[in-house]
Structure 1
């Protein structure tokens, strides 16, 4: 009897010019195959995560959120073309919200600090942000697999043990794949040996790049666009087989019947990944205020400073209006929201970056006016603050500050 199987290595259209698994089609096919869960692990990015999560949930399929990150050959800050052009691969899956936060931190760092041909992370960053994550050794491009391809078993073992130490036992898996490639079958034998020697568990994946087998031709054209080659170019990069599709559990069991534990581990991993998003809760960044201030007291200071600049002799009406608005802002939890908007508008003005006078209902706020977020006096023109923000409003305030 064929047991369940979960795809844990899947590239959607958000693996730009490499993935051709359209999320709608992917989820539909997973449902047709009676799969209880499916992962998203796009190359170096997480742009499609929320769309994937919502559509999977809607169809009753458990979404597993992950990313196939690129690893730097040395430090992510090393960018020497003689040493650092090569990037390894590593699949990371979020077990929970802690893991998700660590994952998005890693991906952000990869772009902001580690980008060199690709967004890269290194073992030091992995060590700092490993909590709540399950890692898989990825495809033939993985660091472990690359060492095995280069006939350096001891180096592969060293890397595997290092990753196992970073993520912890049973949080790092050696990944077996078989797309009909000779190299994969050779590497798989070494991975099984490595697992036996180290106790690091195995897991089976299919490195999905398109949903149906017939989609391989379209995927091939995507690769041509990515590499700037023509379809007729015999020396271009291409996948050697058409096996990189969302296979059924029966197909996967036929391929890997000799490693039943590795097949079962796909379900075990899926059961451990229980990330839930709450789209009804607003998550605002924390704003770091100067020493001696709370966010509320700092906002009030900025407003009082701005009040003196905007009005020579502010009337009681103006002061009462300002205090009223600040009380509403504080009670609704939007203090740091205003500080953040003030910060980037202030930065723009100090650096001669053009911004407009403000538009929309934000012009009705005297707080926005004295902070110089907007340049329209709401008192002079009788503009109503409640159109912008009021205790009865469920949604975020209108943030169309910049024209």
Structure 2
């Protein structure tokens, strides 16, 4: 029997030198497996968001735009490690709507402009400020919650859960369960489930996708080696354990935590909560301010063009007038008047200020 499931923790090749899956391949795999929605949560960026959105739409898959953020242990302005040696933690955020999408973009930008320290980092202050329209998942073993629990800091872990539930709202905060066959995950999962039950936070099952097919783990490992300038034969380097970080079917995912079916159901529930529509943009040009003597930009460009005729032709024949009107009519019909005026303006400025130009300008 097919299992309804949605992947919510997914990396593409826009997770630079880490993810080994193109957005088109991810969308195609979701279609092949009969999955109706799919998230993209690249590390610290949204570079692939629009390409992913379009790829999913082409396959009739609901796109869920997200990001796996790097969160500073304290302030994003603190450019140092904490006493425990942590520079950042991971955190998954998903956009429910346009407001959430805009907040994702703001958070990404501020990570680069304000929080850059090894990685583009945000902090709890920013999360509280831009939480509207977002769903939060506790992330992988690199998330703050699993780290605190594995370190035996249960009181801090509970305080962390309660704080994030307050920031995002009880309906928008979920504790992630993952199982890629790692011993630490087994230990963490038990603690995460206990914490979820104690505080009353829903569970959600994810797979930390970094490649589409299981055999692609080799390509992903090579990418990481390139990023670290290491050889695959070098044992003293970071690498993923095993080959379970691939795009699994709903049936495969259901086998991981069969005693917690709600963790599967919540993936679909989250997908239903996310309903972002990104309009396809047309040309976005500055508005050219015309002199007050003219009623429209069309009148102004005709005035400029007719004035230029007198400089170029000693005698203006009907043929020349007709050619000008023909060309202006095309420019106006295609709504390029503003563009032509903008180009005329900066070329004219360049002429008057001794800036070199192409021969035709």
Structure 1 length-normalised TM: 0.75
1:189 counterpart residue number: 190
Secondary structure of 2:41's partner? strand
Name the CA shift for 1:366/1:19 in 2 (closer, same or farther; >3 Å).
Answer: farther
Deviates more, 1:393-402 or 1:2-11: 393-402
Name the CA shift for 1:276/1:164 in 2 (closer, same or farther; >3 Å).
Answer: same
Secondary structure of 1:35's partner? coil
Q: Distance in 2 between matches of 1:366 and 1:19?
A: 53
1:13-35 CA distance string (max 9 Å, x none):
00000001112221111111111
Name the CA shift for 1:386/1:201 in 2 (closer, same or farther; >3 Å).
Answer: farther
Q: Distance in 2 between matches of 1:395 and 1:217?
A: 53
Secondary structure of 1:208's partner? coil
Q: Distance in 2 between matches of 1:68 and 1:53?
A: 17
Aligned-residue RMSD, C-alpha: 3.1
Name the CA shift for 1:75/1:396 in 2 (closer, same or farther; >3 Å).
Answer: farther
The size of the alignment, in residue pairs, is 332
Higher relative contact order (CA 8 A, sep 6+): 2
Q: Distance in 1 between matches of 2:298 and 2:311?
A: 19
Q: Distance in 2 between matches of 1:175 and 1:23?
A: 23
**1:208·1:244 contact (CA, 8 Å) conserved in 2?**
yes
1:186-240 CA distance string (max 9 Å, x none):
1111111111111111100001000010000111111111111111111110001
2:70 counterpart residue number: 70
Secondary structure of 2:245's partner? coil
- Structure 1: runs of 5 or more not aligned: 286-294, 305-318, 330-363, 368-376
1:176 aligns with 2:172: no
**1:44·1:68 contact (CA, 8 Å) conserved in 2?**
yes
Superposition deviation, residue 3 in structure 1: 2.9
**2:64·2:94 contact (CA, 8 Å) conserved in 1?**
yes
**1:365·1:378 contact (CA, 8 Å) conserved in 2?**
no
**2:73·2:82 contact (CA, 8 Å) conserved in 1?**
no
Superposition deviation, residue 80 in structure 1: 2.6
Secondary structure of 1:57's partner? helix
1:230 counterpart residue number: 231
Secondary structure of 2:91's partner? strand
Secondary structure of 2:90's partner? strand
Superposition deviation, residue 389 in structure 1: 5.6
Name the CA shift for 1:381/1:233 in 2 (closer, same or farther; >3 Å).
Answer: farther
Q: Distance in 1 between matches of 2:23 and 2:166?
A: 34
